[in-house]
Structure 1
Amino acid sequence: MRALGIDYGTRRIGLAYGDELGIATPIPALTDANPDKRRAGLAVVIKQRRVTDLVLGYPYNMDGSAGFKAKEVDAFAESLRAEFALPVHLIDERLTSHMAESGMSQKKLREIRSQGIIDSRAAALILQDFTPNTEPFSAGATKAARPSSTAT
């Protein structure tokens, strides 16, 4: 399986690639101000990396209810299914951005946030939480345990 982890945002789309060995690696985020160009960039990544599954972070609140961006993410997921004819798995993205930022100074965060580095690190965390056939994608020895939901 070659999966693409996606941290969807209206300004940036963070991306991470999960290869056949099960390793999740952040890749450059899509940061163009034009949403059509971000979408075209996504299509290029999917084709070049021969992606077989899309793993999309889903915005749950801390109480488990759907977050305020859930409808937007639902629409994005449906458009991905229609355009790319690939399975789209929705994975709980609670705290992924916070975890991606941990250990960084505020100055460093300001410098890299606009480049989408945090978004792509969050996408890697989302991808690590995707466990098809109980074989997790991993970026190392640790894996955050959060509930997930899958919609195909």
Structure 2
Amino acid sequence: EAPTAIPNIRKAENLLRQSLGMHDPLFSKLGTVELLRASSLLHKGLEGEELSKSDRAKSLYLLGLSYAKLPSYFINELPEFFLEQCIRENPGTTEAKKAYKLYKDVVTLGFTGSSGTHLPPDIQLKLRDLHDMAYENLTVSLGD
């Protein structure tokens, strides 16, 4: 019998905690194996339809966190994808707010260099829209 989604979420959270507290002094890396195992469990949990809305929100946030912490050669836009999905599917929730904060950090880092942070106008608009969704401000732009 396949494990249920909720134990998968708990196991993934434990793996994330282990990974985020683990540093390899020789390579300065987080626990990559644990991050990948956590993401696998979360993907499996999201495949089924038995997740409650809050468990789905938590899973999407944890996936975004997992991919945000993986070394850059493992990822591209995956953290942003899962974090944005968490915000859009669960506006106003604690998970959406946490997802927005991490999303903003990930996106801002991509536009930060030696001359500072330079966010293009379309990225600024998207950040504002996602912020408003996450915090349930009713002045959300439709992006047109």
Range class of TM-score, shorter chain: under 0.3
Structure number with higher helix proportion: 2
**TM-score, length of structure 2 as denominator length:** 0.27
Structure number with higher strand proportion: 1
**TM-score, length of structure 1 as denominator length:** 0.26
Higher relative contact order (CA 8 A, sep 6+): 1
